[in-house]
Structure 1
Amino acid sequence: MSLSRVARHLNSVEERRERLLKGSRDVISACSKAIMKVHTGDGAAAKSFIAEAREGLESLRKASSGDLKRYLIAAETEYVEAETLLSLAEGRALPGMKEMRVQPSAYVLGLLDAIGESKRRLLDSVRAGDVEEAERLFELMEELYVTMAPLAVHDNVVPGLKRKLDVDRGLLEDMRGLLTEETRRTKLLKSMRSLEEKMNVFEKEGSL
C-alpha cells in the first residue's frame, strides 16, 4: 500500500470518526431530554425522545466498524440509562442487551447509571409522601445492583465499572437509611392520628 493510499484511508477513518462523535452528541442530547421527561412524569415525551435516540444510534452503527465502534459507547450508555429509567418508572421488565442492540460495556455502564438517576425519582416519591412507591423503586435499584456487583472483577475490560459500583453502593446505603427513617416517621404519624381519633371519641362519649 502506497503512502497516498494510507493517507486516503486514514482521512476516511477520521471523517467517519468525526461523524460518529457528532451523531453521538445528538443521541446523548435526546437521551438527556428523555430522562428529564421521565422525572416530570411525561412518559409519552420520554418515549418519543428515546425513539429519536434509537434511530440515531441505528444510523451511527451503519457508519461504524472495527475500532470505530468504541466511539459509540458513550451514546449507547446514555441510551441504556434512559430506557432503563423509563422501565423502572413504569414497572416494566428491563430491556435486554440484544433488544437494545448495544455493546456489553455500554449495557453494564448504562444500567449502573440508571441506579444513580433513580435516586431523584425515589426522593421525589418520598417528598410526595408516597413511601410505597419509594420502597418499590429502592427494591428494584437494590436488585439491579446485586445482580451487577459480581462484574466488578471486569473493571480492566470495562473502565469505570468498579467506580460506578462503589458510587451506587454508597447511594443505596444512604437511601436505605432515608427510607427506614421515613417509614418510622410514617408509622408514628399513623399511631398519633389513631390515638387522637380514639381520644376524640372518648371525649365525645364522656360529654354525653
Structure 2
Amino acid sequence: MKNLDEIIGDIEGRLDEKDEVRELAIKSSRTIARLSGSAIQGMHRGEDVAPILRDAREEIQKLKSLLDGHPDLFHGGFVENAMQEASESFLVHAILEADRLPSPKELGVTDTAYLLGLGDSVGELRRFALEDMRRGDVLGASSFLEKMERILDALMRFDYPTGIVALRRKQDIARGLIEKTRGELAVAARSQELAERLDAVRGKL
C-alpha cells in the first residue's frame, strides 16, 4: 500500500480539475440559454437577432472546447438543456428567414438536443401564428400552422425508447398545440369571411 497516497492524490487532482470545468460549463450553459432566450424574444419583436445568435454560436464552441475530454459533463443535463434552447432559437430564426435549417453538426449540438429544440420550436411558431391571427392575417397564420405540421410529421418518425431520445412528450405537446391552433385558425377564417361579406353588403347600400 505504499503507493496508495499517490493514487489517491492523482484521483483527487483529476476530480478537482473536473469540478472546476463543471463550474465553468454551468456558467457557459447559462450564457447560451440567456442568449437563446433573448434571440427568441427579439424575433417576436421583429428585431435583428443575428448578432445575438452569433454570440450564442461562439459560446457553444467555447463550451465544446472546454468540455473536450469530459464527455460525461457534455452530455450532462445542464449542457443538454442549453444546447436544446440554442437549437430552438437557431431553427426558429431559420424558419422566419426562410433559410435552410442548420444541422446538429453545424450548430455543434447533439442529435437529442436538436430534436428536442425542434419540438420546442412548434410552440414558438404557434405564437407567431396567433400574432398573425390577431392582425387578421389568416394566410400568414396558415403558413405557420403548415410549418408546425411539417415539424410534427418529422418528429413522429422517431419512435425510440426514452433512453435513446425522450421525444414522446414533445410529440404529444406539439400535436396538442397544432390541434388547438387549427381550431383557432378555423374560427379566425370564418370571422374574416363574415367581415368581408358585411363590408360587401355595406358597399352596396
TM more than 0.5: yes
Q: Which residue of 2 aligns with 1:8?
A: 13
1:161-176, aligned counterparts within 5 Å? Answer: 161-176=167-182
Where in structure 2 are there 5+ consecutive unaligned residues? 1-5
Is contact 1:31-1:78 (8 Å) kept? yes
Q: Which residue of 2 aligns with 1:206?
A: none
Q: Which residue of 2 aligns with 1:58?
A: 61
Q: Deviations over 1:40-97 (max 9, x none)?
A: 011x2x1111111111110010011321211321111111110111122222232222
Paired with 2:26 and 2:183, the residues of 1 have a C-alpha distance of 41
Query: How much does 1:189 deviate?
Result: 1.5
Root mean square deviation of aligned Cα: 1.4
Where in structure 1 are there 5+ consecutive unaligned residues? 201-208
Paired with 2:93 and 2:178, the residues of 1 have a C-alpha distance of 19
Paired with 1:54 and 1:100, the residues of 2 have a C-alpha distance of 7
Normalized per residue, the structure richer in helix is 1
Paired with 2:128 and 2:159, the residues of 1 have a C-alpha distance of 26
Paired with 2:191 and 2:176, the residues of 1 have a C-alpha distance of 23
Equivalent of residue 152 in structure 2, options 131, 135, 145? 145
Is contact 1:152-1:165 (8 Å) kept? no
Amino acid in structure 2 at the alignment position of 1:80: S
Amino acid in structure 1 at the alignment position of 2:145: F
Larger radius of gyration: 1
Amino acid in structure 1 at the alignment position of 2:171: L
Q: Which residue of 2 aligns with 1:34?
A: 39
Q: Which residue of 1 aligns with 2:112?
A: 105
Q: Which residue of 2 aligns with 1:205?
A: none
Paired with 1:93 and 1:183, the residues of 2 have a C-alpha distance of 30
Is contact 1:88-1:137 (8 Å) kept? no
Q: Deviations over 1:90-146 (max 9, x none)?
A: 222322222212111110001011111222111111111111111111101110111
Q: Which stretch of the first structure deviates more once superposed, 21-30 or 89-98?
A: 89-98
Amino acid in structure 2 at the alignment position of 1:121: F
Is contact 1:20-1:63 (8 Å) kept? yes
Q: Which residue of 2 aligns with 1:67?
A: 72
**Identity across the alignment (%):** 30
Amino acid in structure 1 at the alignment position of 2:125: S
Does the residue aligned with 2:14 lie in a helix, a strand or coil?
helix
Amino acid in structure 1 at the alignment position of 2:169: R
Paired with 1:49 and 1:154, the residues of 2 have a C-alpha distance of 35
Q: Deviations over 1:144-167 (max 9, x none)?
A: 1111112143422223x2111111
Paired with 1:128 and 1:83, the residues of 2 have a C-alpha distance of 26
Is contact 1:135-1:179 (8 Å) kept? yes
Aligned length: 196
Is contact 2:60-2:108 (8 Å) kept? no
Paired with 1:62 and 1:4, the residues of 2 have a C-alpha distance of 26
Does the residue aligned with 1:157 lie in a helix, a strand or coil?
coil
